[in-house]
Amino acid sequence: MTTELLTAKGFKTLKLDIKSQEGFSLIETMMVLAVLGVIMAIGAPSFSKWKEKHEINGQTQKVYFDLVLARTTAVRNNNNVIVTFNTTDNTYTIHDDTDSDGTQDSGESIKNGILENEVSFAYNSGISDIDGNTVSSAVSFGGSQTVTFDSRGQSSASGSVFLLHPSDVGNTNDRARSVSVLQATGAVDYWIYDGNLSPPWK
């Protein structure tokens, strides 16, 4: 075993190496945190808007796909399927009415849907539907909150469902969404509000 002595030059190099491995000073750390705080403060509103848009889109797509499912189930099973909305609780049910008697009998499949993230069946006054008519109800199928799909895929009435994010209720229609059903064909469509169009949907 050999022992090497540090020369004066080697000692200086060792000191420099030790110094170069020192951490950040308190001032440097505070400056980094301050910059990160500014970046987060600027980005937070944008993230919040993106999150809310994602939530309203997600809930509207859920309603859209459930209505499509109801129609295809009616055709596949050769019986009526009834979708009933509750605008008070922001829920809906899909009833596979296998004997087409209009009542929920034992053994008949029922699917429950509920809007999440505080999204609700709602509309702001003055808005019009895809046909240009003034909206008077968040859910209306010929004046009813129930729509029935028959074995041919047709629906009991034409109508629309309107959805809003809670931060938009009473404030803006910019992120309003709608799902429509056409009686003659039972076709289900997803609509996004666009104030530059007339009617304001695309």
CATH number at residue 87: 3.55.40.10
Percent of the chain with pLDDT over 90: 73
Answer whether 188's CB lies under 8 Å from 141's CB: no
pLDDT of residue 26: 79
Identify the pLDDT of residue 6: 52
Q: Is residue 9 part of a domain?
A: no
Tell me, what amino acid is at 74?
A
pLDDT above 70 (res 81) = yes
Let me know if residue 202 belongs to a domain: no
Question: Tell me, what's the pLDDT at 66?
Answer: 98
pLDDT at 14 over 80: no
Query: Has residue 158 been placed in a domain?
Result: yes
Q: Is residue 19 part of a domain?
A: no
Q: Which two tokens stand for residue 112?
A: 């429950």
Position 37 scores a pLDDT of: 76
121 in a structural domain? yes
Judge whether 94 and 113 are in contact, CB under 8 Å. yes
16: left (phi over 0), alpha (psi -120 to 50) or beta: alpha
What is residue 18's predicted lDDT score, i.e. its pLDDT?
52
How many structural domains is the chain composed of? 1
46 assigned to some structural domain: yes
| Amino acid 163: pLDDT | 98
Residue 165 in any domain: the answer is yes
175 domain residue, yes or no? yes
Q: Answer yes or no: is pLDDT of 103 > 70.
A: yes
